[in-house]
Chain A
Amino acid sequence: MSKRKGAYASKVKRATHLLFFRRHQKPGAKGWELRKALGSDYPKVLSVLDDNLKNLDLQVKTVFEEEKTPAGKPSLDDLDKARFLVTLRGDLTPKEAKMIGWRIDDLAGLAIIVSFIIAKRGQTNRKEVEKLLNEKLPDWKVGPNIDKYIRYGYIQQDDNTQLYLGWRTRAEIDERALINMLLGSERQGATESMTSENEEETEESDALSETQDNKKE
């Protein structure tokens, strides 16, 4: 192995440690942290890591500050302020989602809120969301669920109880794909397996959900 390749391999390892292991409240690392740890060529290191992660169905995701996603190629300054994290490249099956601690009701609630905020052009009042969720979810579950999505970073709430999309939605959810699929969906399109799994909601799933709550808090 050449000296240059060796240096890169070691930087890729270091980048893996920085991105995989949680060190702050939010997962991943900021661009400036990576620059400090890996040097100014950190975008190249991340691109090598991203290539390596392909086989594992993972990817290095860049989330730009607020909603300031640059139109063209991002500048070094944009990258320094951005957050880098590792996310799943493909998608999860409903069974897998359940295994990582998400109940179908919680997941559906999150999907509804995210799409509703997008439909409302980026912001909506909490009362409106609560009313919408109340149509299909029990009252006692709606408020705590919204608070949970806020805690996780999927949505954020201002002093006037207006809800917006949070950093985690920008990091994890392909908003365009979600809307396109929703608009193109047919009522009959739902997977049958989901219905059967819903009925099978067990206490074990609740326990898993709780565990994840505690961990995230």
Chain B
Amino acid sequence: MQTEKEQKRMGRDKLQRIIEMCIAIENHQVDPFTLDVDDIIKMIQEYFPKWEKPDDFNLDSEAIHHLATVIKLQSEWVKQRSTSLYTDPFLLEEKIRQARKEQMVSIFLKAWHPAVEMEQLSLHSLREAYLYWNSLLTLEERWKELEVTETAIGSATRSEMIKERILSDKYFTEEMAIFWEELKLTTLERGKDGKIRYWDFIGAETYEETIQRAFMTSFLITYGYATLEIRPLEEELFIKPFEKVVEKLATKQLVSIPLALSHEEWQKWKKGELK
């Protein structure tokens, strides 16, 4: 026969275990339905008349509090699974495996609303095509072989490359720093809001020089001396020089932006037809 003291000790142990179990459920370590709420309540009721000390009452109320949280979790679980938004992935997978292809198609067609799109020629597009065809050179002319004279393979010195204008006589970084200063100055003079139109900066008297400037500008942007601002709606392109070199650009993933620099574009710019 257990003494009253032993019964109280056992009761405290049980309450302690209930609290620990409830905390594990609250922390999502255990399934909320592993706890039989009715049994637990009966047990709490059984020991309640034996409590006399405040500590025991505290333990009792703590157990009730945690039990209430578990009941709330159980109710949420039931609510979630009873709504139409919940789909048991295993059940669904099983259905997919079992379904015959005809059945799958029949179901799919009820949920499929394909996009409608049309392709049609218009008078305008025909006219454009006609104009294009007229301006198109014959294959013979387009594929005309370039007259290239064969030369022997040799090596070139730095001074020769400078002479041929392949390399500059200045060091590249030095050249880039000068070009950056020019960009800042030009932006200040001809730009607006700290930026300048791309073509207004790279455009030069000759096409060769324009290409050279575009080449240098691309390095300014890549190495964080300046940035490009693209307005797709207005089809406008600006260069914005930075006051200081932005080094974090190198740590980000770089994006390449191809820009057309055809002779035609350059001529348009010269005539003031290009934005």
Q: Which residues of A approach B to under 8 Å, CB–CB?
A: 20-22, 27-28, 32, 36, 58-59, 61, 85-94, 97, 100, 104-105, 107-108, 110-112, 114-116, 118-121, 132, 135-136, 168, 171-183, 185, 187, 189-191, 194-195, 198, 215
Contacts and interface: CB of A to CB of B under 8 A. Distances in A.
A173 B92 CA distance: 17
Interface stretch (B52-60, B67-75, B110-118, B257-265): B110-118
B151 to A, nearest CB: 44
B116 A87 contact: yes
Contacts of B91: 183
Interface in B223-272: 233
Tell me the interface secondary structure of chain B in the complex.
helix
Given A94-B105, A120-B93, 6 more contacts: A20-B117, A91-B111, A94-B106, A104-B105, A178-B110, A187-B100
A174 B111 contact: yes
Nearest to B87: A179
Contacts of A114: 108
Nearest to A58: B116
Contacts of B87: 118-119, 179, 183
B102 A92 contact: no
A92 B112 contact: yes
Contacts of A119: 87, 89, 92-93, 96
Contacts, number: 150
Interface in B91-146: 91-93, 95-120
A168 B99 contact: no
Contacts of B120: 21
Given A36-B233, A115-B92, A135-B97, A195 B115 contact: no
Contacts of B96: 112, 115-116, 119, 132, 182
A193 B252 CA distance: 57
A112 B100 CA distance: 10
Contact of B102 (A28, A32, A172, A198): A198
Contacts of A215: 119
B110 A86 contact: no
B84 interface: yes
Ranked nearest first, the 10 interchain pairs of A and B with the lowest CB-CB distance are A111-B108, A108-B101, A190-B103, A194-B102, A178-B111, A119-B92, A27-B117, A177-B111, A87-B113, A174-B111
Given A105-B101, A108-B104, A119-B87, A168 B115 contact: yes
Nearest to B103: A190
Nearest to B100: A190
A107 B114 contact: no
B103 A172 contact: no
A111 B92 contact: no
Among B96, B97, B106, B112, residue most surrounded by chain A Cβ atoms (within 10 Å): B112
